[in-house]
Structure 1
């Protein structure tokens, strides 16, 4: 009978168990996804954050499927499995390696991450080292950086596109940026001169008697509690010329108060006429439908209202209301982009077929209004018939699909009983309804109410 004393082995196993428990507790206390690699590239242990990051049910599932948690290749084209071994081997040699990595959840969602591999000596029973891998999820950071870049581009575009001199300040009253209009207005060499020597473009005193520097500081403090502040200001350009301006300070809330910016718009009152012309041009652009180039509904009705204000009489104009037959089917079959293309092409052809000087506006959706100043009944009928006949000959092509469309038109002569644009539009709508009811792809022209 041989008796072997196992107390030493049991004590050693208890120590090992306690060590593993302490090690696991340390791993679980780490707020990042963390796992341990041995020298044979085996992923032997992970913490609780690891399965959470990848939406897995357990740590064992994470360990068993780790190789499936990365795409086959990394963004640089290298095989994920080979690159992982290279990085672990490198960490074993140099002690610490940090790099970007692309993980992939089991549902296919990509997880951009920052990986830090750290060699830890003496963790193995034989005293050899292991590698701890820390995974930091970069999705929120990348989204924030993308949003920050987008905000910067928007601010930059807003500054550059402004017709007014524009200077950006932080809440510490430090000039951050300006546009070319500000450089030219002040007669500076470049933006750097404006930003680094801004106070040199101010006279000692403002017209109200206040010291320029003190007034600038005071107005910028005022904007701390207000989103907008307007005041009069005088600059001095490099030629020594005084430039009276209306300055509007706008506080742009970015995030924390320290990150907010102040945008100072300076309207050069010497250039008031030019500024008004720019505003008028922008207003004109707002009067046209961006897709079709026709007038907007509001602007068309404004023009139509002029017919009533001028006191014009019987048969002075013809109002037409047209829409595309089966337009919903185009959208449903080929998509809204095809629908937009159809509207654009059809209305381009309609304007070509209508007499010069005809006012055309988009009433809404696929309905359009037009105002004919030709009021001879026979000629109006010819115009309407030409529209109805020509449009179906157009061939629309979208992504290899070829289709046609047609239009229906309701048109009415203005009468003395029409007291406002709504009266005329309502009668044109009734005429359009008749055209639709009679089979579509046709026009109905009504000269009197009956």
Structure 2
């Protein structure tokens, strides 16, 4: 071994790890893959020499090649100390990296790695990791390629192009498969090229991606399961998605047809007269600004059938931007049900012949007004009793009589405001409740006009009959505060108008002292 200790000379020395040298501290350091700097005695010259050992494991063997240098000289020691510090810092940086790093020579053998690689592959040290790296693959990769062939193919590709990035599956000693991303970079090392590999464990990322995909699938299923038409608008007001309920609502063939032909699914103008396209964009813009918008909308199927709908727009987050979700509720059944209810209510509240309120409804509405907020005002009840009408039914029959009643009902409606209460009390008697009477002269003017319009000859074919009206008026609260009192007094006044000549109106104040009770015989004579 004396030639090994000549100063300032480098030697490449091969060691075989045999049982005869297991206790050699240098060999133990070799096993750990460490550079060794030890002080040994020169047995020939009886002095201490400082030697540097830098081992390198020969792949798939139990042999090591080592460079040995005599560093006893002070200048050499200083130079080597600086190199050692640089090497130590580099190794510290490499070992502190949170991803696996490896180094391959041009024979595609792994010659070094960092501590993260050792831990990742569950090995005892770097040497074991380098020796067993090609054992850490399943037989085949997920794409079906043989791992051994694919590994050499990808490494060679990096040597040819200088860079390669690939997804790879490793097989750890505990039997678990680990998906990873491997980046391979060609680097220069002295006179030769090597490959540096950087391996990133993708298990967490793929788990997150799988969870994300599952969440998206659940959202898609929920979106499709919503029992009303849904669609999505991006921030450029593009209709980007819909569910199958949207397709069904408009009897379309596919989602794409709905998305492409959306603005054909509304009439040119909405019931308010505004163009549908501009109004739609205005509503969408409002939803983006405020986060919420609800309104009624008139849609139209391609065959022309109108679909009244309620549309709700909700702004939602999508990554770093907003989108708007639209929910369209078909109101056709609701509108039909509402119309049916209104028709039933009309039938219950209205006189079937004249379509005026019937007696019960008229009384209820007047009583509600007298006890409600409007009770502080001044109102009037007007009782209208037709003159000579009994002769019409007796002489010409009810067909002619009904025609006269319908015509006179129209005259009465046209004489009063829409918020006044107008009802038919049965037979030839009508009642009007005039709200907010500020001046009695206004009531007189209305009744003068009403008497003149009712008083005329009514005809049906060859049949003719003159009909007029006797009218009585009572004021709230002057002539009574309860409905029964006001109606009784207005009725007395109409009776008195009929008694004194018909075709006129009388205020209760003008006749309040004329009668205390009604006499049925007098009524009969007057009629």
Q: Give the TM-score normalised by structure 1.
A: 0.48
Structure holding more strand per residue: 2
Structure showing greater relative contact order (alpha-carbon pairs closer than 8 Å, 6 or more residues apart): 1
Larger radius of gyration: 2
